[in-house]
A and B are shown apart, each in its own frame.
Chain A
Amino acid sequence: MNTSERYNRQIILPEIGEVGQYKLLKAKVLVIGAGGLASSILPYLAAAGVGEIGIVDDDVIEISNLHRQVIYKSSAVGKYKVDESKLMISELNPLIKVNAIVEKLSGKNAISLFEKYDIIVDATDNIFIKYLINDACLVTDKPMVYGSIFRFQGQVSVFNYQNGPTYRCLFPDENVQSLNCEDAGVIGISVGIIGMLQANEVIKMILEIGEVLSGKILVYNILNNEQQKYDFEKSTNFVMDKEAFEEKYKEVENQVEEISVSAILNEIDNHEVLFLDVRNEDEVPKINFKNGIRIPLMNLENEFKKLNPNQTIYVYCQSGIRSKIAVELLQKKEFKNVKSIAGGALAMKQLLKEEKLSL
């Protein structure tokens, strides 16, 4: 059908041709994160005819994303980013396959996801996840296309390409903090440029043309247009195989700290502790802590500023599942001492009954 007409202007490039276009069609690329970087990565990969694109992200579109995440419409605020980006791609190029994966990348799903693709693109805004992507790429032997932003500067590199150097060879110290866009501020153009450079690395790898940014990090400053490349070598003192991976990321999965209901008994009258109920307004049994507040989980993202990030906060819901999600959310917002009450309101009510206490 109209395939060759659609791609004609790139097929006539001697570096691409019909053979190159076929390579693009056969390629499978997984993009982690559907934010600012992905907003230029996705349309350019899709338009060029990359045959299968997976997108992993569990966020919904917020109004404050739109100035840089230019593939989303104002009318889509509140919808899942992966669903909207799939929609955008299918309108741009209906000939390719898109897998919208509404999940948060973790030690649990990374390996099985990565195994289905040829190239993994890091379009995240979180250093911890970057190490996770790097390590899962090592286990599954996939190249990782890295991109990252700090205000008006960006970094691009390709790790683990043909057994080349990795993110850990460049930045061995994983216990670092660096500001993400929400905290540091960002302009759409800088993420757009860096995302475009990432898409370019993906296309070059698929077509086997040019020089891949392997063993090199490109640093781009959009304020003065300076670009520099720095070389780095593979360091041999880090081993990551499937076993090591599972061991390492098993621990982190349990990062949400829980507190048992029996431990709660001693804290009921502690004025320094706040009890946060994240159930909806109509849910019972009610527990009337003297120092308690109710913010339903769905409102927490907008209302967390009512809380003091330095206070000890015990979060509960009905059974202890939503409260874990709330703890994760608060930890992301730099809350230092939040725990989830295991078993939730039901377990607390039961214990209070046993202890013949009422609240």
Chain B
Amino acid sequence: MIEIKYFGAVAEKTKCEFEKIVSSEISLQELLLDLEEKYQFNSLSFSVAVNQKIVPKATDFTLKTSDIVALLPPFAGG
């Protein structure tokens, strides 16, 4: 089980604030591609965190069960 958290405008697209996927042997970039295909984030920009740590955009590694991935877009209101 990998948990994915969504924030701000990203959560508006996914229409949920978190979900869990049952998947083994999936890499971070594969997961992001899957999510892009599923939700069509298009021009939405966001940073990606794995287990509460932001990772550089191109980073790739195999996710472990119980990893928590978060998609964090910048906010603009004030």
Contact = CB atoms under 8 A, between A and B. Distances in A.
Q: Which of A122, A172, A228 has the most CB of B within 10 A?
A: A228
A36 interface: yes
Interface of chain B, main secondary structure: loop
Given A172-B57, A235-B56, A180 B76 contact: yes
Contact of A125 (B7, B72, B78): B78
B63 interface: no
Contacts of A147: 78
B77 A184 contact: yes
Given A170-B54, A219-B7, A232-B54, A191 B78 contact: yes
Contact of B9 (A33, A170, A179, A181): A179
Interface size grouping (class) on chain B: 20 to 34
A177 B43 contact: yes
Contact of A150 (B17, B43, B54, B76): B76
B52 A178 contact: no
A172 B7 CA distance: 18
A311 to B, nearest CB: 24
A219 B77 contact: no
Interface string B24-58: 00000000000000000001010101001110110
A33 B77 contact: no
B40 to A, nearest CB: 16
A232 B8 contact: no
Q: Which of B8, B9, B45, B76 has the most CB of A within 10 A?
A: B76
Interface residues of A, number: 43
Contacts, number: 96
A229 B72 CA distance: 11
Contacts of B43: 176-177
A29 to B, nearest CB: 17
Interface in A99-144: 122-127, 130
A37 B49 CA distance: 26
A221 B70 CA distance: 14
A150 B78 contact: no
Contacts of B61: none
Contacts of B72: 155, 217, 219, 230
A173 interface: yes
A178 B53 contact: no
A150 B77 contact: yes
15 contacts: A35-B78, A123-B78, A127-B76, A130-B74, A148-B78, A150-B8, A153-B75, A154-B75, A171-B47, A176-B45, A191-B77, A230-B72, A231-B52, A231-B54, A235-B56
Given A177-B43, A232-B53, 19 more contacts: A36-B78, A126-B76, A127-B76, A149-B75, A149-B76, A149-B78, A150-B7, A150-B75, A150-B76, A151-B8, A153-B7, A178-B8, A179-B76, A217-B72, A230-B49, A230-B72, A231-B54, A232-B54, A235-B56
The 8 closest A-B pairs by CB, nearest first: A149-B77, A148-B75, A125-B78, A232-B54, A178-B76, A176-B45, A150-B8, A150-B75
Interface of B: 7-9, 17, 43, 45, 47, 49, 52-54, 56-57, 70, 72-78
